[in-house]
Structure 1
Amino acid sequence: MQSLCVYCGASSGNSAHYVDAARLMGKALVENNIALVYGGGQIGLMGAIADEVMRLGGVVTGVIPQALLGKEVGHPGLSKLHVVKDMHERKAMMAELSDGFIAMPGGMGTMEELFEMLTWSQLGFHDKPVGLLNVLGFYDGLISFVDHMVTQGFLRSHHRQLLMQDTSAVSLIGQLLDYRPGQIAKLLNDASAKKLLP
């Protein structure tokens, strides 16, 4: 795994533990020689993880839409910052540049990015690992709801396994590194998936 995309909030949340977790994630990435791909912001958890990776000598690539460059304060100190036209281009580029995905605490945008990558994996559009860093139980309700999808017959149990989770950045990265493509059956075969790729 050469690069990992981390989705997280442009806010810092109401507890210092969230920022601490972002810094620990940055440290774990550098220790595993994994480059960070993220949304390009300088504030909130986004800024915290990018700053830590850069401080420790790691590589950081940001991708940010022109319209958010000022609002999220595009980070000027990154290894590379791609300024794109819209959110669709941002998400597509982040996905293409990454070998796996982790969602940390965040808001609506983080949820959208997480579930888009899970859906693409479920369908077979990509076969990259997806993980959830559950800081302070932030994602307990979401994890329970995903399990509820299974019990109610809207999500197959083997597709539930596509969402890895842990409370430790080191352990979660270890799970992603252990992931082997093709170990979970997808809804579409390779040929069908390629025809539907955006």
Structure 2
Amino acid sequence: MTPSFDALQKQLKKLPGVGYRSAERMAIQLLLEKPETCQGLMDALASARDNVSSCENCGNLCESKRCSICQDEHRANSGTVCVVEHVSDLLSLEKSGAYNGSYHVLQGKLSPINGIGPSELNFDSLLDRAKAGEVSELILALPNDIEGEATCHYMIDLLQPYEVSVTRIGFGLPSGGSVLYADAVTLKSALDARQNFR
């Protein structure tokens, strides 16, 4: 292959979820099979790079100072804020239609072993929102792992001075899932999150 092709493949391989073979197929598709899509992709990337940033309030994607969710008065004034790790988590919740409040994107989770401490995450604007009285309930929708738990505990301590109710999303078996195929952590979470029927 050529040096230019190799360079393109290496850049594509840096994208999440893209391995060597996928990057190779994408590069061939862009350069040889459908070269007309290459310019459209470059234009879209340049436009996104120049126009898309993080919402100063919640950390979501936006093309102004605040995202469309923060600009929606009904949602922004609900007082319920769902804390997620990444924008992709926010997008999943939005697609589900199960939640209609506002969000806060941390842009990661605490992980001292990887050098990610509180200063690397989006805690400051969350504190500002709590100080301003914009938060009555915080829903923690972070992963059910050690780093996710540590981040939840950190936020609970951080918000201690404010009158904010803190809840955590339930974990357990997926809809239609079977106990037979669940791992031990999932089964423990399902048992811990059990509900009363009567």
Compute the TM-score of the two structures, normalised by the length of structure 1: 0.32
Compute the TM-score of the two structures, normalised by the length of structure 2: 0.32
Greater relative contact order, per chain length (Cα 8 Å cut-off, separation 6+)? 1
The structure number with the bigger radius of gyration is 2
